[in-house]
Amino acid sequence: MLFPDYRGRRLRATHNFRRMIRETKLSRDDLILPLFAIEGKSVKKPIESMPGHFQLSCDHIVTMAKDARDAGIPAIILFGVPDKKDPLATRAYASDSIVQKAVRAVKEKVPEITVITDVCLCGYTDHGHCGCVENGIIDNDASLDLLAKTALSHVKAGADMVAPSDMMDGRVAEIRQALDEEGFSHIPIMSYAVKYSSAFYGPFRQAAESAPQFGDRKTYQMDPANSNEAIREATMDIEEGADIIMVKPALSYLDIIYRLKTEIDLPIAAYNVSGEYSIMKAGEMMGWVNARDMIMETLLSIKRAGADLILTYSALDVARELKD
Positions in the binding site for ligand PBG (CB under 6 A) = 118, 120, 122, 130, 165-166, 201, 204-205, 217, 273-274
Interatomic CA distance for residues 48 and 50, integer angstroms: 5
Which is nearer to ligand PBG, 143 or 274 (by Cβ)?
A: 274
281 assigned to active site: no
Which is nearer to ligand PBG, 171 or 303 (by Cβ)?
A: 171
Q: Residues with Cβ < 8 Å from 279, sequence gap 6 or more?
A: none
Which is nearer to ligand PBG, 100 or 210 (by Cβ)?
A: 210
Comparing CA positions, the residue from 126, 130, 146 lying closest to residue 138 is 130
Given phi > 0 = left and psi -120 to 50 = alpha, else beta, which region is 310?
Answer: beta
248 assigned to active site: yes
Q: Which one of 85, 101, 107, 195 is the catalytic residue?
A: 195
Smallest gap from residue 217 Cβ to ligand PBG (A): 6
Interatomic CA distance for residues 188 and 266, integer angstroms: 12
Q: Which one of 85, 101, 149, 248 is the catalytic residue?
A: 248
> Whose CB is nearest to ligand PBG?
204
Smallest gap from residue 310 Cβ to ligand PBG (A): 12
Q: Residues with Cβ < 8 Å from 47, sequence gap 6 or more?
A: 36, 53, 54, 55, 203, 206, 207
Q: Does residue 270 contact residue 247 with C-beta atoms inside 8 Å?
A: yes
Smallest gap from residue 33 Cβ to ligand PBG (A): 12
Which is nearer to ligand PBG, 22 or 218 (by Cβ)?
A: 218
Smallest gap from residue 284 Cβ to ligand PBG (A): 18
DSSP 86: B
Catalytic residues: 195, 248
